[in-house]
Structures are given as C-alpha cells and as structure tokens.
Amino acid sequence: MEFKVFNLGQFDHYAEKYGITEFTPQNLYINGLISQTDVIKVLGKGEIKGKFTFKVHAASASAKTAIEAAGGTLEIVK
C-alpha cells in the first residue's frame, strides 16, 4: 500500500492556512492537499503545537505520542 505521507511539522501551517482543526481524508481532499483515493499516514517528524483531531489511515508511534501530548486525538480509520 502506498501512503500519502504528512509530517507533524506541517499541520500547524495547514491549520492556519486552511482553518482546519480536524484532519480527515475529506477535509484534506476539500482543501486540495490529497486526491480522493489517497491513503494518509502521519509521521512524527517536526513539532505540533495545536490541539487537533486526526482521523487518518495510519500513524507512527511517535506521531501518536506527540498528537496526544499536544492535547489532540488520533483515530485510525479504514
């Protein structure tokens, strides 16, 4: 399976630019960040400051830890 990969360091920028606080495949698609069929994986590179909700297909353990430490939530969707 090929993932569309995002690093944690990108999400504060996306939140500011697009007004997103819930990162889901639908929200990322609507804002032109992915195609409709992309499978999303979040990696732990970089820092995240915002308290965001993530509903993605996969995430690294370090991303999960950082998201939860910032007060956010992570849900793995199919």
What digits encode the pLDDT tens for the residues 28-68?
999 999 999 999 999 999 999 999 999 999 999 999 999 99
Cα–Cα distances (Å) from 65 to 20, 43, 46, 50, 55, in that order, read 21, 11, 13, 14, 15
What digits encode the pLDDT tens for the residues 20-34?
999 999 999 999 999
CATH of 4-76 given 2.40.280.10, 3.100.10.10, 3.60.15.10, 3.30.420.40: 3.100.10.10
Quick one: which of 16, 15, 28 has its CA closest to 57?
28
Predicted confidence (pLDDT) at residue 1 exceeds the cutoff of 90: no
Find tokens 């996969």 and name the residue. 58
- Domain boundaries, given as residue ranges, for the chain: 4-76
pLDDT at position 67: 97
